Amino acid sequence: MHVLSIFGTRPEAIKMAPLVSALAAEPQLRSTLCITGQHREMLAQAMGLFGLKADRDLDVMQPDQTLNQLSARLTMRMDEVLRELRPDCVLVHGDTTTAAACALAAFHLRIPVGHVEAGLRSGDMKAPFPEEMNRRVVDVMSEWMFAPTPAARDALRREHLGGRAWVTGNTVIDALAATLARLDADPALAATVANRYAWLAPGRRLVLVTGHRRENFGEGFRNICA
């Protein structure tokens, strides 16, 4: 079986890394990785951390690109890759425009879709935007839905979707465990990390905020800080 894994952003890379590594280690599978480049520098950073190398790079980002333009470029370029590689199934992650557009391209070619981190819902199609819509439509098109929690699986069941759903946990935990294992096994790497973050003095209380969602731009960041 040929499995094509697709992602394009830093969060997707982090969460898909354990799965991509496991697929590559399975002798009965052919595993191919395609990135879309929806993030570039941040994506490269995450892939370097986990030792991932892409077999295909769609390189879709353009300056001042709208969501419709991005979606169109993703769908067209993914169509080309799918027709060339003819995978038996594709795996997408989460709620990004990459996930939605690439799932649609696979669906149009009757290639089964597996959705990692399926079933998450806010209940508001405008928040987060467009992520709530993206994750819903990916689930509609998916043959297999891998839910991180029982609540996410129950949400999928309530929507009477055609695919099958399993509770698999969240792969970000596997990514964390793999990173800690690397630090334990590599004292030099652990020392490098410790030196880089030496300014984090013991006892100092810090809050780390990642506020990259569109709804946090402008006033959103000020509200977070307040």
Residue 107 has pLDDT above 90, yes or no: yes
At 19 the pLDDT is 96
Range with the poorest average pLDDT among 72-81, 154-163, 199-208: 199-208
Number of Cβ atoms within 10 Å of the Cβ of 120:
19
Laid out side by side, the sheet with 30-35 consists of 56-57, 30-35, 2-7, 89-93, 113-116, 144-147, 164-167
For the stretch 139-196, pLDDT in tens is 999 999 999 999 999 999 999 998 899 999 999 999 999 999 988 998 988 888 888 7
For the chain, the structural domain boundaries read: 2-173
pLDDT digits (tens, 9 = 90+) for 30-43: 999 999 988 778 88
Kindly tell me if the per-residue pLDDT of 114 is higher than 90.
yes
When computed from its CA atoms, the radius of gyration of the chain, rounded to whole angstroms, is 18
Per-residue b or e along 105-116, where b marks 16 or more CB atoms closer than 10 Å to that residue's CB: bbbeeebbbbbb
Fold annotation for 2-173: Rossmann fold (3.40.50)
Q: What is the pLDDT of residues 33-72, one digit of tens each?
A: 999 988 778 888 889 889 999 999 998 888 888 999 999 9
Residues 79, 106 contacting (CB under 8 angstroms): no
pLDDT for res 142: 97
